Amino acid sequence: MPTFKRGCNPTRSPMTPNDETNNSGEVDFNDERTLDASAPRGSFPDAFLSIGSMVEGKYRLMDSIGEGGMGVVYKVEQVLLNRQMALKTLTGNEFSESSIKRFHAEAKLLAKLDHPGLVKVRDFGFIDNVKPFLVMDFVQGRTLSSVLKTSGVMPLDLSIKIFVELCFALGYAHSHNIVHRDIKPSNIMLTTPGIDSENEHVKVLDFGIAKLLHRGLNETDSLTRTGEIFGSPFYMSPEQCLGKPVDHRSDIYSMGCVMFEVLTGAPPFSGETSIATIMKHQSEMPLSLKEASMGREFPEEVEKLVANMLEKDPDKRIQSLLDVAQILISIQKGLTGTAILNKAVAVPEKKDSNLHNKYLLYATAALLAGVLGMLVLVYFNQRPSEPRPIESTPDLPSTVWTTVSKDGQTKTFNFPKEFPLGEVTYGMHPGTRLLAQGVVVVPAKAQLLFKPNNLFLSHPQFIRNFRADDISYMDFKDAGITDAAHYSYKIVARVPLTDDELIYCNHLTGLSGIGLKNCKITDAGLANIKGLNLTELNVDGTDVTWKGLSSMDCFKRLKYLRACHLRDGGKIAKALAGSEAIQYLSLTGSDLGDEDLKVITTMPNLVELNVGYNMRITDKGLKYLTKLKHLKAISIDSTSITPAPAMAIFKQMHLTSRPRVTTLGWPPELIEEWSKTWPERE
């Protein structure tokens, strides 16, 4: 049921015709009505706005949630959409016309950043035509700074999880030619688990309004400002401290400083004054992690990685955050990252930087989830030899949970009253989401997605309480991420779903899809459900092989298949060769090459293809894909395709959306042509 699986866009709410927002409730950043740089600008006497007042008639100020010498952040209500947002203003009364125009241009650029690890910019403007502001998503959680104050150093496993997420988020920004320049613990948020996620995740804060309007200032000038925002001496790169132009490698240095602090309890350099700290960044070598942590042992590769990120010379640092992520993943899996590190720090030739073919842009949320699946493999417990017995549970029906009304219009689920067993969702994305607790009534013919919680997973025989046609899609995602709840960084562990327990699903003949992402499933588990008439299957981050997949009765009837980060993606493609059913195929990070793409061209009805993060794919393989006449969307980032040939090949395709491919480092004229050919949608 694609309606449950692919909807990544937020709920769209209609707006009145006179409102200056588009139908998403967001400002049109290309509408010049939002910018009047020539209008008279007076002074704005008060740095703080009154709680309860309105901004531009759209935002009601609810509370002040943060402030510094250069700005104030407010929690606001977007009145027409009845949603909470964050509004950030900048202290100051006078800004030049050129600054205002630059603010408009860069606000547009920031608004185009759309990544789960970045706080989304939704609107911008000027209060009383004087004071600039940005409106962003309101994020609840704790900053990394506050976590470190209460918990001290973090376990290595947990630190790796955080920094892999940071690598992908910042790497995405770098791929859009945006450098943060103020990476520090207080700008890293660990989000509060909510309805969309049982886990905390990482968000990068403050691609700030101050940097937008004051980018012309020398970086060292900012150190003299009270409550400085854009440059924190503990985390500033040597080139940033000197006021030199900076690029993405400055952020890599800053992240190295943060990583050092997370693992040892203190930043690598600390002087009595800001200037003293800056001098240490210029002239002193950092201690090893072991020395700084008073004897704590770290893997050799962790020591090497952090030391390299803290190189004074940007050319000697590791050159991309994707390389940092790869090394961290290798360390977490118990592998050596030396080869990756040696390759990553090689100084690129000025005429051809390899950095720009390395960032993952397409469906990064999905890809990130797959990577995290690899990260947490070290947590897996041994599989039980037999299914877990059902334990005594109060007021639990022993028969089926569902009844259908006499008129056939509604279906009633009688779940336990005392506790929920998960969530039931139906309808078009985002759908109606209900707790699986007590009496739940849904339309009889609705296609239902069921996502079990830990209690349900602890009693897998509960699955037998569903009738054969009660559920259309069973989502076991992440039921294999375990044994993490004791960390201060709160990860909600998932009770594992194993091969044996999948047998309880084999009566669900109405099941059209099943999600097994990051579950402890092998080919033996697939054998337990091989007879189901599935059209959708997600086995990202599992231990299944092409043999297990191809042995399923439904394999050649699948319309939607995600099999990312598996060892034998090429064999999966060959097993699927000639399928007229497959419409969506994702084989990210599965060691595909050009000839594998040639095999994929035998799937005539393919509409969407994701083959990113496969470095053996070249222009030759991309050329094969022009044979797919129904292909409308493609993700082929982090491969070895090259700019000019790729541009020409994409134009030969029948795509209806912008190809997902890293353009960072492309010649300016090609980037301009790219933007004109496939303009980004707001």
| pLDDT value of position 226 | 33
pLDDT at 638 exceeding the cut of 90: no
How far is Cα 364 from Cα 292, in angstroms, rounded to an integer?
Answer: 35
Average pLDDT over residues 206-231: 46
How far is Cα 446 from Cα 450, in angstroms, rounded to an integer?
Answer: 12
Average pLDDT over residues 497-502: 88
Average pLDDT over residues 674-679: 84
Token look-up 């952090």 returns: 306
* pLDDT bucket at 219, cuts 50 / 70 / 90: very low
| pLDDT value of position 11 | 28
Boundaries of every domain in the chain: 2-137, 141-359, 384-677
Average pLDDT over residues 499-520: 92
Interstrand relation of 608-610 and 584-586 (parallel, antiparallel or unpaired): parallel
* pLDDT bucket at 518, cuts 50 / 70 / 90: confident
CATH superfamily of the domain spanning 2-137: Phosphorylase Kinase; domain 1 (3.30.200.20)
Q: Which has more confidence, 218 or 282?
A: 282
Give the chain's length.
682
| pLDDT value of position 536 | 97
pLDDT at 220 exceeding the cut of 80: no
Give the pLDDT confidence of 530-543 residue by residue, as tens digits.
999 999 999 998 99
Query: 3-class SS at 285?
Result: coil
pLDDT at 624 exceeding the cut of 50: yes
| pLDDT value of position 497 | 82
| pLDDT value of position 308 | 96
| pLDDT value of position 110 | 76
Q: For the whole model, what pTM was predicted? A: 0.47
pLDDT at 32 exceeding the cut of 60: no
Give the pLDDT confidence of 143-181 residue by residue, as tens digits.
999 888 877 788 888 899 899 989 988 988 888 888 888
pLDDT at 628 exceeding the cut of 60: yes
* pLDDT bucket at 333, cuts 50 / 70 / 90: confident
| pLDDT value of position 394 | 36
Residue 519 buriedness (CB in 10 A; 0-12 / 13-18 / 19+): buried
Average pLDDT over residues 554-576: 93
Give the pLDDT confidence of 262-305 residue by residue, as tens digits.
999 999 999 888 888 999 999 999 999 999 988 889 999 999 99
Question: Within a 13 Å sphere around the CA of 369, how many CA atoms are in the beta-carbon half?
Answer: 25
Q: Give me the percent of the chain exceeding a pLDDT of 70.
A: 72
| pLDDT value of position 133 | 86
Average pLDDT over residues 671-681: 81
Whole-number mean pLDDT of the chain? 77
Among 163, 342, 147, residue whose Cα is nearest residue 257: 163
Is the CB of residue 143 less than 8 Å from the CB of residue 185? yes
Average pLDDT over residues 552-575: 93
Task: Look at the domain 384-677 and name its fold.
Answer: 3.80.10
Give the pLDDT confidence of 348-385 residue by residue, as tens digits.
343 333 433 343 333 333 334 443 443 333 333 333 33
| pLDDT value of position 598 | 97
* pLDDT bucket at 98, cuts 50 / 70 / 90: low
Give the pLDDT confidence of 433-486 residue by residue, as tens digits.
899 988 999 999 999 999 998 878 878 888 999 999 999 999 998 764 433 332
2-137 against 384-677: fold identical: no
How far is Cα 275 from Cα 253, in angstroms, rounded to an integer?
Answer: 18
* pLDDT bucket at 387, cuts 50 / 70 / 90: very low
Q: CATH number of 141-359: 1.10.510.10, 3.40.50.300, 3.60.60.10, 2.40.30.10?
A: 1.10.510.10
Average pLDDT over residues 233-243: 90
Long-range contacts of 433-440 (CB under 8 A, 24+ apart): 433/195, 438/414, 439/412, 439/413, 439/414, 439/415, 440/412, 440/413, 440/415
* DSSP-assigned states of every residue in 448-462: EEEEE-HHHHHSGGG
Element (H, E) at 624: helix 619-624
Q: Which has more confidence, 198 or 646?
A: 646
Give the pLDDT confidence of 469-484 residue by residue, as tens digits.
999 999 998 764 433 3
